[in-house]
Structure 1
Amino acid sequence: MRGLGERPFPFNPETAVIKISSIHENRPGAPAPLSFFLQKVFCMQEFAPAFPHEVSIRIPMHMVDLGNVIYHSRYLDLYHEARDHYLDAADCSYREIMEKNYHLAVADTHIQFKRPIRYLETAIIRTRIAWIRNRSLCVVQEMTKDVNGTLQLCNRAEFTLVCIGPEFKAIRIPDTFIQRLALFQTSA
């Protein structure tokens, strides 16, 4: 199982070419049905681990449990809200996505809880794109809080989002969307 923030697979075009040729050499006389592998390797954009967007959210009463800390499932709501702000800042508003009749569905989620955040504390959520493929992308988010002038990491999440069409099947992410996200992410 890979950890948070790790690449889905090691990506180095030079090494990938070596691996592809060695796979092909191990299959003498066989056709080269490696187009799927090539597509997976060469159509993925990875980004530096910079967080180009940050949003602050004061924690309301309806998000906390009897222990006065954010109820664990509410972290997903906060991260979703921060992703919406990120998309707006990247000129890829979710309203525009829905108007074009596609959606970004959460396919996989990993959250590491480190410290609690309490009622009326301000959560600072930083968002970045880790990688984009043809039909999916990975969003990494960190939630921190200010403790005596020092930001403390409270939890970290990684979401794999899949672009789906009206039939709820995976479709290609529109190129304009990818370009806007890549431009915003690399401008950090």
Structure 2
Amino acid sequence: MTHQHPIRVYYEDTDLGGIVYYANYLRFIERGRSEWVASLGLDQRQMQAEQGLVFAVRRVEADYLKPAHLWDDLTVTTAAAQITPARIELDQAVLRGAQTLFTAKVTLVCLGPGHRPTRLPDTIRRHLTK
């Protein structure tokens, strides 16, 4: 299942030419991931408060294909490519209509108390594989 999250490009997202600054695509996909997790019924604040668990980005492989511009309405898509006991691999993209502007393969890990890597608890894995 692919999750979709709308984004509008504002002045703060662009350079002087009205083109989205390259690092902001990472912010866009972060928002998309956060909304994907929430849509699956996981409350990241509760995970951290009750279990000391957080998700952390381990790796991002990004391709910038075409620029987004000021006032563009974009869609961030997020889909689980693979979920193992130790990591979550996601395929993400930023689209303007049907046109793909940016793609990324993102690897997340779970960190436990003391920010040490830990296996994903079964309860969380079940939410992520809905």
Q: What band does the TM-score fall into relative to the shorter chain?
A: over 0.9
Retained in 1: the 8 A contact 2:54–2:111? yes
Which residue in 1 is equivalent to 2:126?
A: 179
Retained in 1: the 8 A contact 2:86–2:118? yes
Aligned identity (percent) is 24
Larger RCO: Structure 1 or Structure 2 (Cα < 8 Å, ≥ 6 residues apart)? 2
CA-CA distance at 1:167 after TM superposition: 1.8
CA-CA distance at 1:171 after TM superposition: 0.4
CA RMSD of aligned residues (A): 1.1
What amino acid is the match of 2:15?
A: D
Which residue in 2 is equivalent to 1:67?
A: 17
Tell me the TM-score normalized by structure 1: 0.66
Distance of 2:22 and 2:9 partners within structure 1: 13
Unaligned runs of at least 5 residues, structure 2? none
What amino acid is the match of 1:114?
A: L
Retained in 1: the 8 A contact 2:25–2:102? no
Retained in 2: the 8 A contact 1:115–1:155? yes
Query: Once the two structures are superposed, what CA deviation does each residue of 1:3-45 show, in whole Å capped at 9, x if it has no partner?
Result: xxxxxxxxxxxxxxxxxxxxxxxxxxxxxxxxxxxxxxxxxxx
SS of the residue 1:75 aligns to:
helix
Retained in 2: the 8 A contact 1:84–1:93? no
Distance of 1:107 and 1:177 partners within structure 2: 18
Which residue in 2 is equivalent to 1:44?
A: none
**More strand as a share of residues:** 2
What aligned pairs does 1:83-122 form with structure 2 within 5 A after superposition?
83-99=33-49, 100-122=51-73
Query: Once the two structures are superposed, what CA deviation does each residue of 1:125-183 show, in whole Å capped at 9, x if it has no partner?
Result: 1111111111211111111002xxxx101010111011111222210111111101111
CA-CA distance at 1:84 after TM superposition: 0.7
SS of the residue 2:19 aligns to:
coil
Tell me the TM-score normalized by structure 2: 0.93
Unaligned runs of at least 5 residues, structure 1? 1-49, 184-188
SS of the residue 1:167 aligns to:
helix
- Picking from 82, 102, 115, the partner of 1:155 is 102
Q: How many residues align?
A: 129
Find the structure with the greater CA-based Rg.
1
Query: Once the two structures are superposed, what CA deviation does each residue of 1:27-73 show, in whole Å capped at 9, x if it has no partner?
Result: xxxxxxxxxxxxxxxxxxxxxxx52x101111111111122111111
Which residue in 1 is equivalent to 2:90?
A: 139
- Picking from 75, 98, 111, the partner of 1:164 is 111
CA-CA distance at 1:87 after TM superposition: 0.6
